[in-house]
Amino acid sequence: MEWTAMEINPEVGKTIMSKLGVSGHWRFVDILGLEGEQLTAVPKPSCALMLLFPLTQQHEAFRIQQANKVTGGSDVYFLKQVASNSCGTIALVHAIANNKAKMTFENGSVLKTFLDETAGMSPDERSKHLEGNKPEGEQVNFHFIAFVNVNGQLYEFDGKMNGPVNHGATKDETFVTDAAKVCRSFMEREKDEVRFSAVALCQS
């Protein structure tokens, strides 16, 4: 079962959010770099960050080590990835679902309906509920994850894991910087790899 891979592109993100019935004053912006002045250029407030990176042997080995760091609670919405290439969609759902109170949804919003229907489900049950829509696509070897500030904690949402990973305390003012620090650690593990991209979900 494969989905069409999602681009990491603010315009694509805007289009998808519109199709899902998410309205209001939130938009995706490119993050041109993960340090210093490049981060200060990201508009505030920012409520989520999405990172795209290549799947490598180093990353897979690191993920195995992180299995015991999975956490979460009733305030954290987590969705497991089952279908290939659906990581971009799932990262977007994680970004919106864990900022649900900040979002405005149109009447009949597909995403709002999905979130309401799956609110009391387990991550596995949510995945099965999502499987109904699965357009075919070419397999790609890149992966999306999302970072969100949930009640003052920086959570990493990776649908390939069994739950979110808590990276410690954060706040609205430092969220992008805190999330970027974790993203840099991904880059540092891949010494000769430069194919990393990131976008932030910001209020316009």
- Dump the DSSP string for 77-109: ------SBT-HHHHHHHHHHHTTGGG-EE-TT-
The string of pLDDT tens digits covering residues 11-37 is 888 888 888 899 878 999 999 999 888
Could you tell me the domains of the chain?
Answer: 10-203 (3.40.532.10)
More confident residue, 9 or 168: 168
Share of the chain above pLDDT 70, in %: 91
Per the rule left: phi > 0, alpha: psi between -120 and 50, beta: everything else, 151 is left
More confident residue, 94 or 139: 94
| Catalytic residue set | 87, 143
Residue 169: exposure state from Cβ atoms within 10 A (0-12, 13-18, ≥19)? exposed
Q: pLDDT at position 5, please?
A: 58
Largest pairwise CA distance in the chain = 47
